[in-house]
Structure 1
Amino acid sequence: MMRAGARVTLKTIAESLGVSVKTVSRALAGKDSVGEELRARIRAEADRLGYVPNSMARSLVSGAAMTVGMVITHPANPFYASLISAVEERCRANGYSLLLMVTEEDLETEREAAEALLRWGVDGAVATPVQQGAEHWQRLRDSGVPIVLVNRGLEGFDSDFVGVDHERGTYEAVSHLLGTGATSIHLLEEDVPFSSAADRRAGFHRALTEHNIAVQDDTVTLVPPSTDERRALPWDPAAAYRCAQQLVSRLEPGAAVVTGSDYFALGLYRALAEKGIDVPAHVSVIGHGDLPFAAYLQPTLASVRPPADEIGARAAELLLERIQGSTAPPATIYLPPELKIRASAGGDRNEPRGK
């Protein structure tokens, strides 16, 4: 009789059926050397006993850890939360566990994460880099671990990449505002050295240039990162509010502001309300991220929605192909965001929430 709480092993199943451990192992692995009838009996007994495969033992036999590492910057950011869920879902469907590590935009923490993934022998990695060096990622890849970068690339590191077309998203936001008759456009953006912020600024400049509008020195307002001992949050609404207090004094009726984050739009909304400036009657606003609260603000906030779920799914699929031996040239995939027009940028003030 099996002791209560004891782990069910291949030996447990073998003793229950009066067959060898090797036969049970072959049957559960789907080997042709075991007949269909016996295989069915073994699988049924495994189910009855509650057998769970030992992943560590399986990895020692197969040479695969059946684990994917994921290194991100800010788990509190809803974009990364959706990204994690999409990657985990694809990995789990293919028999892989997900090992999550967080850097909080710290280079040394990122190096430690890459070294840990190397020690643990993961089969592959999905990473959002801090963009301050590629040596540790190169070392991981040289060890045979395929890497897919998401949201941010790495100069000099030729790897699969899946990210948001930030340049296009901001370009379309500015073009929409100009099309609704905005007399001047401002950008409230992160003051960080990341490609995502740089791409949004590029889209802003391209849209104005194509409409023959000069970019003045005070057209772009940069929000400094808010840091404390625990984390660095470049999308802090309090920091955006302080910057917006100075910005709103320069906004004439008919102006519009594009923000690099919906969190920045929160700070901007407060600064505008304190000055009695109506949105959108006097100033239009478009955020970035389309976070859950955007559709519940008053007025509802127009926003650029990044396809986080699709990015995660595509990144996981690329990585699984690499793990399975794909030697195709590295892919670079930019997925277009969706511009969600709501009341703050000319949409219907009476539209249903959540649209």
Structure 2
Amino acid sequence: MESRRVTLKDIAKSLGVSVNTVSRALTGKDSVGEDTRTRIKEEARRLGYVPNSMARSLVLGSAMTLGLVITNPSNPFYARLISTIEQRGRVHGYSLMLLVTEESQDGDEAAAETLLRWGVDGALVVPVQSDGEHWDRLDESGVPVVCLNRDFPALELDFIGVDYDNAAYEATRHLIDGGARSLCLLEEDLPISPVADRTAGFRRALADAGLGAAGDPVLSVPTRRQESLALPWDPGDAYRIAQDIVSGGDLPDAIMVGNDYFALGVYRALNEAGLSAPRDVLVGGFGDHPFAAYLSPPLTTVRLPAADIGTTAVDVLLRRMKGSAGQPEKRRLPSELVVRASSRTGESPPT
């Protein structure tokens, strides 16, 4: 016998109440008593009732869905962002449609087209920073767009991200205050605003401390995830660059890295040369990825406000979806420097 989807009418008939009462009870309306609401919910569970989202969307004139476009789901920062956005959206009754671009311009444009075709109510986007006009067009079509983590000044869109410039400045000042007078930064070579901002903050800290360098102290690490951009960063290239630094005979006092994965490569190069942090060189990272506290020595790093960004971005998007006007918001949230043994002078790793 073919199964049939349980309807509101079935629940109403079973309990001897009106369909309207069942609907109000299951949608949280205040005009239903708590005892009645409880009985209706229990009966809905017993009968196996599943809300028809498509029908609800037609009634409300809304898909009740938010689009989220990111570049790399393996990044712990984005994993936390996805979770926070999904939870915050669910509180307001919205489901989440997740799309991954893998740093591809074609993928970025296809994502915008997909969100428009599926009629999402709003979009949260980590843009590929080469040409973002399609996000402006999506916004102009009536689907509000909020950019995340990467600021694209050419776009007339809201932006919620990290104050990477100040975070890098504070982390670099910490190393300088610890006695470092020669420093280098291993930074990925993607042309994106977080990289540019971290580099700017690093250089500013050096300038404020009156520290120059014979060459450029910023070393580019070939762009991550060689086989697929959806894979985690590969510490291998940072390892090879760190090998060159170690074998060059002029070891800097401190090495900063643009993400904690690069610190894995730096640690290995130091270890193979019989060197260690912080005894021979101070090391600082970025991201406070789950493994950072368990390295030997534990890594000093910048903890990023992923949850705050996700919550703030959803709230800004919901306001736009309700018709809030005005100039685009550009908000950079503060991060936290987590000081551990890798940058504490006078300490040595356990033997």
Alignment-derived partner of residue 57 in structure 2: 59
Alignment map for 1:198-237 (pairs within 5 Å): 198-231=196-229, 235-237=233-235
Alignment map for 1:33-182 (pairs within 5 Å): 45-182=43-180
Please state whether the residue corresponding to 1:100 is helix, strand or coil: strand
Q: Give, as a single letter, the amino acid of the residue that structure 2 aligns with 1:137.
A: W
Go from structure 1 to structure 2 and tell me whether the alpha carbon gap of 1:276 and 1:91 turns closer, same or farther (over 3 Å shift): same
Please state whether the residue corresponding to 1:201 is helix, strand or coil: helix
Q: Give, as a single letter, the amino acid of the residue that structure 2 aligns with 1:151.
A: N
1:243 deviates by 1.4
Go from structure 1 to structure 2 and tell me whether the alpha carbon gap of 1:132 and 1:96 turns closer, same or farther (over 3 Å shift): same
**What RMSD, in angstroms, separates the aligned Cα atoms of the two structures?**
2.7
1:42 deviates by 5.0
Go from structure 1 to structure 2 and tell me whether the alpha carbon gap of 1:350 and 1:248 turns closer, same or farther (over 3 Å shift): closer
Please tell me whether the aligned partners of residues 197 and 260 of structure 1 are also in contact (alpha carbons under 8 angstroms). yes
Please state whether the residue corresponding to 1:292 is helix, strand or coil: coil
Go from structure 1 to structure 2 and tell me whether the alpha carbon gap of 1:215 and 1:147 turns closer, same or farther (over 3 Å shift): farther
Go from structure 1 to structure 2 and tell me whether the alpha carbon gap of 1:77 and 1:28 turns closer, same or farther (over 3 Å shift): closer
Deviation by residue 1:242-291 (Cα, 9 ceiling, x = unmatched): 11111223464661011001111111111111111221111110011111
Greater mean deviation of Cα atoms: 244-253 or 126-135: 244-253
Cα separation, 2, equivalents of 1:320 and 1:339: 31
Please tell me whether the aligned partners of residues 192 and 234 of structure 1 are also in contact (alpha carbons under 8 angstroms). no
Is 1:195 matched up with 2:193?
Answer: yes
Please tell me whether the aligned partners of residues 133 and 154 of structure 1 are also in contact (alpha carbons under 8 angstroms). no
Go from structure 1 to structure 2 and tell me whether the alpha carbon gap of 1:53 and 1:199 turns closer, same or farther (over 3 Å shift): same
Cα separation, 2, equivalents of 1:47 and 1:226: 48
Cα separation, 2, equivalents of 1:108 and 1:59: 30
Alignment-derived partner of residue 305 in structure 2: 307
Please tell me whether the aligned partners of residues 160 and 309 of structure 2 are also in contact (alpha carbons under 8 angstroms). yes
Alignment-derived partner of residue 269 in structure 1: 267
1:79 deviates by 0.6
Please tell me whether the aligned partners of residues 342 and 349 of structure 1 are also in contact (alpha carbons under 8 angstroms). no
Please tell me whether the aligned partners of residues 225 and 233 of structure 1 are also in contact (alpha carbons under 8 angstroms). no
Q: Give, as a single letter, the amino acid of the residue that structure 1 aligns with 2:229.
A: R
Go from structure 1 to structure 2 and tell me whether the alpha carbon gap of 1:181 and 1:139 turns closer, same or farther (over 3 Å shift): same
Q: Give, as a single letter, the amino acid of the residue that structure 2 aligns with 1:281.
A: R
Go from structure 1 to structure 2 and tell me whether the alpha carbon gap of 1:347 and 1:308 turns closer, same or farther (over 3 Å shift): farther
Greater mean deviation of Cα atoms: 141-150 or 233-242: 233-242
Cα separation, 2, equivalents of 1:104 and 1:301: 28
Alignment-derived partner of residue 343 in structure 2: 345
1:328 deviates by 4.2
Cα separation, 1, equivalents of 2:204 and 2:32: 65
Deviation by residue 1:322-344 (Cα, 9 ceiling, x = unmatched): 22332243211111111111111
Please tell me whether the aligned partners of residues 136 and 155 of structure 2 are also in contact (alpha carbons under 8 angstroms). yes
Greater mean deviation of Cα atoms: 182-191 or 320-329: 320-329
Alignment-derived partner of residue 245 in structure 2: 247
Cα separation, 2, equivalents of 1:234 and 1:92: 28
1:44 deviates by 5.8
Q: Give, as a single letter, the amino acid of the residue that structure 1 aligns with 2:121.
A: D
* Count of matched residue pairs: 350
Percent identity, please.
56
Please tell me whether the aligned partners of residues 124 and 319 of structure 1 are also in contact (alpha carbons under 8 angstroms). yes
Greater mean deviation of Cα atoms: 76-85 or 8-17: 8-17
Cα separation, 1, equivalents of 2:32 and 2:278: 71
1:130 deviates by 0.7
Please tell me whether the aligned partners of residues 241 and 271 of structure 1 are also in contact (alpha carbons under 8 angstroms). yes
Please state whether the residue corresponding to 2:285 is helix, strand or coil: strand
Cα separation, 2, equivalents of 1:183 and 1:232: 37
Alignment-derived partner of residue 334 in structure 2: 336
Please state whether the residue corresponding to 2:302 is helix, strand or coil: strand
Cα separation, 1, equivalents of 2:161 and 2:345: 28
Given the two structures, how large is their TM-score scaled by the length of structure 2?
0.90
Greater mean deviation of Cα atoms: 44-53 or 261-270: 44-53
Gaps of 5+ in 2: none
Gaps of 5+ in 1: none
